[in-house]
Amino acid sequence: MRVGFIGLGTMGAGMASNLAKAGYELVVHDARKEAAESFLNNRAVWAESPKELAKLVDVTFLSLPGPSEVKGVAEGQEGLVEGMNPGSVVFDLSTNSPTVVRNLHSEFAKKGCHILDAPVSGGPAGAHSGKLALWVGGDEQIFNKYRTVLDNMGDQVAYIGPIGAGSVAKLVHNCAGYTIQAALGEVFTMGVKAGVEPLALWEAVRQGVLGRRRTFDGLINQFLPGIYDPPAFALRLAHKDVALATALGREKGVPMRLSNLALEEMTEALNRGWGNSDSRSSLKLQIERAGVEVAVDPERLKAALVKDPEL
pLDDT of residue 108: 96
Confidence of residue 307 (pLDDT cuts 50, 70, 90): confident
> Which residues carry out catalysis?
170
> What integer pLDDT is reported at residue 147 of this predicted model?
98
- pTM summary value: 0.93
Q: Is residue 152 part of a domain?
A: yes
Residues in the chain, total = 311
> Which domain does 68 fall in, by range?
2-169
- The CATH number of the domain holding residue 269 is 1.10.1040.10
Question: pLDDT digits over 126-148, tens only?
Answer: 999 999 999 999 999 999 999 99
Mean pLDDT of 295-307: 92
Together in a domain, 41 and 117:
yes
Mean pLDDT, the chain, whole residue set: 96
Q: Give the integer Cα–Cα distance in Å for 82 and 50.
A: 9
Both 147 and 290 in one domain: the answer is no
Looking at residue 309, its pLDDT comes to 56
Helix axes 165-193, 98-110, angle to 10 degrees: 170
Same domain (yes/no): 165, 218: no
* pLDDT interval class at 310 (50, 70, 90): low
Any domain includes 208? no
Residues 40-68: pLDDT tens digits?
A: 999 999 999 999 999 999 999 999 999 99
Nearest to 177 by CA among 123, 251, 115: 123
Bond from prior residue into 198 cis (ω within 30 degrees of 0)? no
For position 101, what pLDDT does the model report? 98
